[in-house]
Homo-oligomer: A and B are copies of this chain.
Amino acid sequence: MERIPILRMGEFLLVTIQVDMHDQLALTLQDDLAERIRKTSAKGVMIDISALEIVDSFIGRMISTIAGVARIMDAETVLVGMQPAVAITLVELGLSLPGVTTALDAERGMARLRKKMSAA
């Protein structure tokens, strides 16, 4: 497993994080995603973390960075599928994920992205 797949779903890109992220994998994902946003002119990025039972400060920062990169490339980022325990841990760690929009599941995340796109 060398890279996390990025799926193009219409106007947005979907990333499902299922594996433990290490430094190189996170950097590769950031690069791949920026490249795909450029290539596909995607207006939104959805990151699904429903498979993650633990989100540490490293992953939290990675998500914030991805959202920041996407934003300056004119794409919105929505984080979906966060487990309740993960939300608690993030707040306890002081990670409020600035600039990252969240939604309960992929269905709502899609709706959120569509709303943002139509408003833009």
Residues of A in contact with B (beta carbons under 8 Å apart): 1, 3-5, 7-10, 14, 16, 18-19, 48, 50-51, 81, 105-107, 110
Contact = CB atoms under 8 A, between A and B. Distances in A.
Contacts of A18: 1, 4-5, 16, 18-19
Chain A facing B: main interface SS: loop
Contacts of A4: 18, 51
B110 A3 contact: no
A59 B6 CA distance: 21
A63 B81 CA distance: 25
Contacts of A7: 14, 16, 48, 50, 81, 105-106
A80 to B, nearest CB: 8
